[in-house]
Amino acid sequence: MFRFIFRLLRTVWSFIDGTRRVVTNLILLLAIVAIIAAIAHPGPTVPDGGVALLVRPAGTLVEQAAFDPFLSVLSDEQQKETQLPDLLEAIRAARDDARIKLLVLETDGLDAGGLAKFGELRAAIADFKTSGKPVLARGEHFSQSQYYLASVADEVHLAPDGFVLLEGLAKFTTYFRGALDKLGVKVHLFRAGEYKSFAEPFTRNDMSAEDREASQALLDGLWGRIRDEVSAARKLSPAQFDHYVLNYLGALKAAGGSRAAAAQAAGLVDRFSTRDQWRARIREHLGNQSKSAGEDFRRVDANAYLAAVRHARSGKPDQIAVLVAQGTILDGEQSPGNVGGDSFARLIREARENKRVKAVVIRIDSPGGSAWASEIIRRELELTRQAGKPVIASMSSLAASGGYWIAAGADEIFADPCTVTGSIGVFGLFPEFSGPLGTLGLSVDGVATAPQAAALDPRRPLDPVAAEALQLDVDYTYRRFLEIVAAARKMEPNAVDKIARGRVWSGQEAVSLGLVDYKGGLDAALFSAASRAKLQDYTVIWPTQGVPPMRRLLQQLFAAAGDGNFTAAPGAVNGIARRLAADVRSLALWNDPRHIYIHCLCEIP
């Protein structure tokens, strides 16, 4: 029996050891192949003779990929992501490239990304049109955000059985107060700013009057921009646009139930086209009128084109570092997808100490988070300015609360008109579970050396002295927030307080209020950084936090082999799973050493 067990264990160990050797050798082989490919590959090229730049974003439009493309090759559970800065750079380069004859936009794979990101990409496409080159867009169907992007094209094509869904903007929140009351859980809220609504779902059963006022004003402003820009692009009056949105059922009845016909009758699309007809139309624009209906058109994918452009530009000595602050701001070390106080501060220091880096652009797409971590990051930006390197803040879809706190460390702030920003307010939360424990017959008792030794024990009722101390800390942090903003914006703290109080603003409003310097996207921020640093010829670099060198090498290898978009598990179940995973990850928010937060529940899809 002992010999049998020994042989069994030895066999199992041999299998494990063999598997380990195979995996190690595969990784080593991949690294060798990557190095050889990097040395021997002549570099990406763009075909001559006139091609179409194919812009086909997929998944979520992000500032910086948080998911790992290497792991996505091994599993289909990775979420698709498309990096907005890559598309902007490719489109900007294609505008003046004689090899690119037109831009082809296909939006079917695009899921989400934030209104300001769509607006910035839309503006880049509009700028491309100033070269005189046409832009053609098509969708099997169009969601609201997809259509907002596609509407800028010279021709908008729709599948014969497709639809254009324009539904307006909304903000609805789930409130937990009733459920918490039934469980006997008390949530103590400490805040500064009556518009600071992040914690209200835990303390209310409905939307507060202040949140309702601010949210309605924000949504009305953002929707007005969408309506005005789409109407102008499609040569419609705002009234015609509103009629389609507000009287969709009537438009559908008038079109005999055909959603595609209703969209065309409203002037939202130019043509219906099947996939082969779409390819034929593009070939006409390229001057290739082949009679083969199934023949594809001459094209270059945006990622492949960008690789060729960057390869041709490589080697410039001066650099501008773009540091992406995307996600919740948390204390300590964090990987891409969240902003770590320590890890992001290290990125800033490295840029400051790098002699080749002449300026820093901080690209912010964050609702905030830890007040402690936000101040660590802002201070590093301030030190970078003191070292003589310009710092420009570029706001993406969301730069609120802690996102605005760190922007205050910049020389200038740029925002898209649809950026959600502000939310200058502070809150703290303390959950108390003494009620549920008592219901279960559990009691808590003990001794301490001082009254506050166990004051923040959630098993016990919150001590009034501790509650007062928490509110004082929140009030102090709010005053500190006001002082930082006032110093950065050259305003009086009282003047900042009038537009703060936790209220959110659009980028358009933030400019008029003095919270933002200029309307503009990433390109405008880079131009400002280059001007301040007196740079004519430079390279833009994108340092990332928490990615080991070997992983970066493997990412580059796999990105070079494909189009940079990786498949996620399809269907509604996968979407729900991703949402639940995001909710679980959001629990990591509560890691501020002082339990004081500057976070905004204000993102507009």
Cβ neighbours around 407 below 10 Å, total: 31
- Beta-carbon count within 10 A of 310 CB: 17
DSSP code for 589 = G
Q: Give the lowest-confidence range in 151-155, 272-276, 525-529, 555-559.
A: 555-559
Single-letter residue type at 37: A
pLDDT higher than 90, residue 549? no
Average pLDDT over the chain, rounded to whole? 86
Beta bridge partners of 364: 325, 395
**Residue 575 scores a pLDDT above 50:** no
Q: How far is CA 165 from the centre of its chain?
A: 23
- pLDDT tier for residue 24 given thresholds of 50, 70 and 90: confident
Q: How far apart are CA 47 and CA 45, in angstroms?
A: 7
Lookup: tokens for 139: 């969708």
374 vs 6, more confident = 374
CA 328 to CA 340: how far, in whole Å? 8
**How far is residue 143's CA from residue 164's CA, in Å, rounded to a whole number?**
6
Q: What is the pLDDT of residue 541?
A: 92
pLDDT at res. 592:
66
CA-based nearest residue to 169, from 85, 251, 248, 225: 225
357 membership: H or E segment, kind and range: strand 357-366
pLDDT at 566: 32
**Cα(501)–Cα(497) distance, rounded to whole angstroms?**
6
Per-residue pLDDT, 40: 52
Alpha-carbon distance of 5 to 429, in angstroms, equals 56
Q: State the amino acid at position 108 in one-letter form.
A: D
Given this model, what pLDDT does residue 560 score? 42
Interval 590-597 mean pLDDT: 65
pLDDT at 298: 86
Q: What is the CATH number of domain 51-170+219-307?
A: 3.90.226.10
Among candidate residues 133, 196, 358, 389, the one labeled active-site is 196
Element (H, E) at 494: helix 493-499
Q: Does the pLDDT at position 69 exceed 80?
A: no
| C-alpha–C-alpha distance, residues 126 and 301, integer Å | 19
State how far the Cα of 7 lies from the Cα of 264, in Å rounded to an integer: 74
Directed axis angle between helix 84-95 and helix 522-532, to 10°? 80
Q: Which residues are registered as beta bridge partners of 23?
A: none
At 36 the pLDDT is 65
CA pair distance 131, 563, nearest whole angstrom:
26
Asked if pLDDT for residue 256 goes beyond 90, the answer is: yes
pLDDT in tens, 34-58: 666 555 555 556 777 789 999 999 9
Which residue type does 402 have? G
- CA-based nearest residue to 509, from 222, 289, 317, 285: 222
DSSP string for 523-579: HHHHHHHHHHTT-SS-EEE---SS--HHHHHHHHHHHHHS-S------SHHHHHHHH
* Span 363-386, pLDDT tens digits: 999 999 999 999 999 999 999 999
- Helices 549-561, 2-40: axis angle to 10 degrees equals 70
Domains 51-170+219-307 and 317-442+456-537+569-599 are alike in CATH topology: yes
Contact yes or no for 199/177 (Cβ under 8 A): no
129 is catalytic: no
In this prediction, residue 71 carries a pLDDT of: 47
What does the pLDDT read at residue 588? 46
Q: Is the pLDDT of residue 292 over 70?
A: no
Q: Where are the domains of the chain?
A: 51-170+219-307, 317-442+456-537+569-599
For residue 303, pLDDT over 50 is answered with yes
Per-residue confidence (pLDDT) for residue 584, from 0 to 100: 42
Torsion region of 490: left, alpha or beta (phi above 0 gives left; psi -120 to 50 gives alpha):
left
DSSP 8-state secondary structure symbol assigned to residue 148:
H
> 10 Å Cβ neighbour count for 472?
11
Q: What is the pLDDT of residue 72?
A: 47
pLDDT one-digit tens code per residue, 189-226: 999 989 988 889 999 999 999 999 999 999 999 999 99
Condensed to tens digits (0 to 9), the pLDDT of residues 470-505 reads: 999 999 999 999 999 999 999 999 999 999 999 999
Query: How far from 565 is each of 144, 304, 557, CA to CA, in Å?
Result: 22, 12, 14
Tell me: the pLDDT tens digits for 112-123?
A: 889 999 999 999
- CA diameter of the chain: 90
- pLDDT score of 525 more than 50: yes
Q: Is the pTM of this model over 0.85?
A: no
Q: What is the C-alpha to C-alpha distance for residues 165 and 146, in angstroms, rounded to an integer?
A: 9
Q: Which of 151, 231, 366, 401 is catalytic?
A: 401
Burial degree of 126 (CB within 10 A; 0-12, 13-18, 19+): middle
pLDDT band at 516 (very low <50, low <70, confident <90, very high): very high
Round to whole Å and give the CA distance between 326 and 347: 14
Q: Give the N- to C-terminal CA distance of the chain in Å, as an integer.
A: 65
> Looking at residue 21, what is its pLDDT?
77
* Assigned CATH class of 317-442+456-537+569-599: alpha beta
Q: How confident is the model at residue 595 (pLDDT cuts 50, 70, 90)?
A: low
Q: Tell me the three state secondary structure of residue 376.
A: helix
Candidates 57, 61, 151; CA nearest to 396 is 61
Alpha carbon distances (Å) from 425 to 54, 379, 401, 603, 604 = 43, 19, 7, 16, 19
Q: Let me know if 196 is a catalytic residue.
A: yes
- Number of Cβ atoms within 10 Å of the Cβ of 333: 14
Give the torsion sign (CA, 471, 473, 477, 479).
positive
Task: Please answer whether residues 54 and 301 qualify as being in contact, where contact means their C-beta atoms are separated by less than 8 angstroms.
Answer: yes
Measured at the CA of 233, the angle between CA 230 and CA 237, to 5 degrees, comes to 65
The three-class DSSP label of residue 332 is coil
Residue indicated by tokens 């003494």: 434
